[in-house]
Structure 1
């Protein structure tokens, strides 16, 4: 099968992620929360670095059960830093917890994380024509709008590039190359 040019074929984790997850519409609350958290961790790093630590993040953050993560405190931050299962950045670890609390507010307002994000694309993926991944957009008017709203709400480690990557990953945007078997 032909794959997008960004996939490192020598890395089984990356190939599996591309083939089985990236760009597929995601609506599970827990999975969306996890993906959002992981995307914020990737700021300044490669996605593969974060992806390889995904199990560590799941273990450190109660398998991304929002209600549990929102109740984490300083002892949990210290534990996570000490365990070393995730990228050792106190601000990024604290951001996951802080953002979890803000998602509780979003759920009260919109009913779900899914409803909040997917309303920006009217519930269906945007399919872009991408001849070569190097020409794919890194942001959009929609990622700009989501970022603006999230920042207004106080979310941390969110920028338009991070949000666009989240949109691609959860299938709000399908940016597989036109020749990719996953398109």
Structure 2
């Protein structure tokens, strides 16, 4: 990204922050999240803020390779990124299986990951054990619940899989964590938190 692009993205993030309550503090002063993605996520939070829980925000950066930590839990009261996680993406988004998401899709049967804002919905126990349903809030992920796009754990997101293959495996479009990371996520992330998925 050029210095000019970074400046524009940072300005966008600042503009979005200015739309938050007057008591809001700087978000991600550590500079962990790409400024352009942070700006889009904060704009989405402003749009959907009436329905979302107000203390946390999760951003998933699918521009990063699956071997990297690319899901971020932000505490909106402190502005800090409190947790980072690795997250698998859909096989339909990465057909050459190189670890990079190439495209988003919300088409049923695509096995691709949809982009956009979600609300973290109810917890349930399914074929992957403890899981969390997601409600898509944008046209780009409106089929999320019907497609069973959820958050769950799987063996192909475990550190042993990453060590063997140098990347995570692929889901059917779900956001997939290791079992340890999912347990942390379940404990630390309130229901109805806004999750923004982009690249």
- The two structures have a TM-score, normalised by structure 2, of 0.27
- Structure number with the higher helix fraction is 1
- The two structures have a TM-score, normalised by structure 1, of 0.29
Higher relative contact order (CA 8 A, sep 6+): 1
